[in-house]
Amino acid sequence: MSRNAKINTLLLALVAALAVLPLALGLGDHKEEPFTGADGEAETAITEIEPDYEPWFSPLYEPPSGEIESALFSLQAALGAGVLAYYFGLRRGRRQGEERAAARAEGAPSAPDADTDA
């Protein structure tokens, strides 16, 4: 197993542990809604500290249900992941193109495409 494969396996195990451990250890069992977002937790804390607090701004759009709010959040996360994947893919492609152009300029035979094995 190569070094990169070991690191990837370790990172995957770490992510799985971060997802499973809170559920397995029962973290949040004492709460009515155990895994609410940070916004809900902050709102609760502010209300406890200052009951008369008035927010400065109101949301531009308030989704009619929690499911729609979750779907919009998931869509936002997917779009962000797509933009990042496009950026890193474009960067890698440009780097590979520059390497091929440099190899051709030196007169060396061009290397086979690395993209065909993926």
What is the tens place of the pLDDT at every residue in 2-61? 999 999 999 999 999 998 988 888 777 777 766 667 777 788 889 899 989 888 888 898
pLDDT of residue 12: 96
Tokens in use for 69?
Answer: 């709010």
What is the tens place of the pLDDT at every residue in 66-75? 889 889 999 9
pLDDT of residue 113: 57
Where does 1-118 show beta strands of DSSP type E? Answer: none
pTM value > 0.75 = no
Q: Is 48 exposed, middle or buried (0-12, 13-18, 19+ CB in 10 A)?
A: exposed
pLDDT of residue 25: 84
Using CA atoms, how far residue 107 sits from 3, 21, 93, 96, 103, in Å, is 33, 56, 21, 17, 6
